Amino acid sequence: YSFEPFGAVDPTAPIVKAVPSATPETHYNEDEGPPSDTAIMVGCGLIGCVIGGPFLAIVTGFGGKYLADRNQGPIGDSAIALGKIAAAAGKKAKEEHLFSKLKDSVRSLFSKKDQGATSK
């Protein structure tokens, strides 16, 4: 196999090189402590809901909270990581006013429906 370019190659084409960023990489939420109990339960519950429905969501939510409190090895660490992800998602949703945007979009959907029904 050959990894040569296919067809004619322009010799005057610029060569692009990757340049590392000057700022060091930082982890999101590195300065904060462990996630809240609610964030851990929501993160684990969402995974359980996707895999097995609402009953498994309840079981994994409470199980993840239990394991995170007891710090039961890699499973407890995974529950804490899911909690950090859920906390970061909740923080971003608040910054973007996601709930207000959702309410406005649903309200506009029903207001257009009502306007269409009254104009007939």
Condensed to tens digits (0 to 9), the pLDDT of residues 51-70 reads 999 999 999 999 999 999 98
The residue ranking higher by pLDDT, 117 or 101, is: 101
CA 65, CA 79: separation in Å to the nearest integer? 7
Does the predicted model carry a pTM greater than 0.85? no
Condensed to tens digits (0 to 9), the pLDDT of residues 67-94 reads 999 887 898 999 999 999 999 999 998 8
**For range 31-47, the mean pLDDT:** 88
CA 73, CA 55: separation in Å to the nearest integer? 25
CA 54, CA 52: separation in Å to the nearest integer? 7
